[in-house]
Chain A
Amino acid sequence: MENTETQIRADSSAEPMAKRRGKRIGIADVIIHSILMLMTLFMIFPFYNVVLMSFSNTVAISKQAVYLIPTVLDLSAYDYIFHDSRFWNAFYVTLFVTSVGTLVNMFATVTGAYVLSKKGYPGRNIIMSGILFTIFFSGGLIPLYLAMKDIHLINKLLVMVLPVAINTFYLIICIAFFRTLPAALEESAKIDGANDIQILYKVILPIAKPMVATIALFYAVDRWNEWWYGVLFMTDTKFLPLQALLREILTNFSMLQTNINASAVLTKGMHPEMLKMAILVVSTLPIACLYPFLQKYFTKGVMIGSIKG
């Protein structure tokens, strides 16, 4: 209940604020806006520069004239990437992890949260404490690695899906949300003879759509950003997700050059920086596209209010 209340107030709070201070613009406003605008510049500029570099060419870069105003529009870096088999391979790995991963995430999180949002059946509290305990304590890196080895997940794409099937914080947010739904809905469905599984899919999920969409978006971003379990669990480079490949290229450009003749790259007029920046742009773009939808929900406070568990 607290959540929805916060949302409503968040939307309406801005106007009274103006009222209490009148229309005068004081010196304080000037200082505040200067700081905030400066920060805005500082946030946007690095992205702007990366995009700029990715659309430039070696001549422009070596003249070092790229950093503020675009002088050329050269798509050769993108052309190169989109003809590179390693890029496509990593892209498909990430596509798999993002699509299958998010589905698994939603299935496990929604079913679990629905059941845990209810009380008064045997074992509920023990299971909940068991889940909360994992926030505070974990076996650590080596035990996790050995466990994944034990269950034969090394070099399997599912190692980037199953071990992260539930994010405990998202689970808690879901539980808090399900608690805000009116109990009467379920009771009437129960009287009609529906069981808990039917209630979840036919009664609860339809009214929980905005919530489900938000959590799905957050999961999708997490899965898209996967690199660490790729680095940790994949010894075979053909299973590396996009961001792990990006990491390899950033830390060690020769990784890319072993694939395609280094001199060929240079004769094509390709500056390594351009390629790096182009891959950066390609890996950021999907998130930038999803961002307006993400933002619509989190500014309204859907994701907040449950940090207390």
Chain B
Amino acid sequence: MNKIANRQLAKEILKNRYLYILLLPTVLYYVMFHYYPMYGVLLAFKEYHIRDGILGSPWTGLSNFEQVVHQPDFWRAFYNTLIISVGRIVFEFPAAIIVALLINEVAKAKLKRFYQTVYTFPHFISWVIISGIMLNFLGESGVLNQIIAAMGFDKVTFLTDPSLFRPIVFLSNMWKEVGWSAIIYLAAIASINPELYEAAYVDGANRYQQMRAITWPSIRGTAAILLILAVGNTMSVGFEQIYNLYNAGVYETGDILDTYIYRTGFTDGASFGVTTAVGLFKAVINCTLLFTANYTVKKLGGEGLV
């Protein structure tokens, strides 16, 4: 029985041999650059000695995690990550929906495309470039401060003031991504049957009512999926943005787990074991939140992700 099954399998594999040849680069890639690094997670439970390598380094049980929870900077980064994450969902998430609904209300196709073109461009620019643009715009002798000074007010240190850092993070990310995020909603809206609107118009529904009754239900499902993904990323709040915008003056409100890991591991020379522990802590929370959010949405009758 087993032999027959094996022979059957061998036959199937032989028949599809060209597919396996084509798939080889992909499999190699994921093994080499995703799964091979994963075994390094063991370091979270070890004390890393460069000479012994990851496998040869001695086990230390949970002592890395104990060290982590006794560092106030870790808790500060954890708290900042949470706050910025919640802020993104509260401020940035609805912004894309609102922009999509506004663009959708534009009647002229050409004008619609113009708005979309302008709003989407910054998505393709890296955070390095955008931080440079922001420096020019918000810096001490930047455009905004020139205007403020010209109007007779005191200059504002936008980029080094800890109390302004988070609002700037939200606003600049909105500036960069709102157009791109809106596209997903606009595509969902575009698939609505136009006759629905015509019927509603004949029935005397005004534009706001049409939006509530026709447009919004059509993008609700998309919004739910994006929300699940956002919740599943609670512990990763945009390393590239924060790293390019923050400075020692705003660690208090701006240092997040990702920047904390990089800074302590690579510049402050903290032990790789401890920083790996922080990384693992982050990944586990993200994974848990993703599946919880997915489960909740499904329970509420929505369409889940996995």
Contact = CB atoms under 8 A, between A and B. Distances in A.
Contacts of A211: none
Given A146-B40, A295-B117, A307-B225, A10 B187 contact: yes
A141 B225 contact: no
B42 to A, nearest CB: 9
Interface in B246-299: 258, 261-262, 265-266, 272, 275-276, 279-280, 282-283, 286-287, 290
Contacts of A232: 266
Interface in A10-48: 10, 13-21, 28-29, 32-33, 35-36, 39-40, 42-44, 46-47
A225 B126 contact: yes
A53 to B, nearest CB: 6
B240 interface: yes
A131 to B, nearest CB: 6
A34 B241 CA distance: 29
Interface stretch (A70-78, A79-87, A259-267, A280-288): A280-288
Contacts of A143: 37-41, 43, 276, 279
Nearest to B176: A43
Nearest to A277: B136
Interface stretch (B28-36, B72-80, B86-94, B162-170): B28-36
Given A28-B207, A111-B23, A280-B133, A139 B38 contact: yes
B190 A243 contact: no
Interface in B170-215: 175, 179, 183-184, 186-187, 190-192, 194, 197-198, 200-201, 207
A163 B283 contact: no
B128 A163 contact: no
A181 interface: no
Contacts of A112: 22-23, 25-26, 29
Given A225-B126, A228-B240, A308 B305 contact: yes
Interface string B8-19: 010011011011
A67 B138 CA distance: 12
B217 interface: no
A302 to B, nearest CB: 10
Nearest to A68: B143
B151 interface: no
Nearest to A13: B190
Contact of A301 (B109, B187, B207, B265): B187
B132 A111 contact: no
A213 B169 CA distance: 33
Interface string B121-143: 11011101101111111000101
B27 interface: yes
B67 to A, nearest CB: 15
B120 interface: yes
B136 A121 contact: no
Contacts of A114: 22
A69 to B, nearest CB: 13
A2 to B, nearest CB: 8
B4 interface: no
A298 B113 CA distance: 12
Contacts of B129: 225, 243, 246, 280, 283-284
17 contacts: A49-B143, A111-B25, A112-B22, A136-B232, A138-B34, A139-B41, A141-B279, A147-B40, A165-B33, A166-B29, A166-B30, A227-B126, A246-B132, A247-B244, A284-B125, A291-B124, A299-B183
Given A142-B276, A196-B18, 8 more contacts: A64-B146, A143-B40, A143-B41, A196-B19, A284-B125, A299-B116, A304-B184, A307-B226
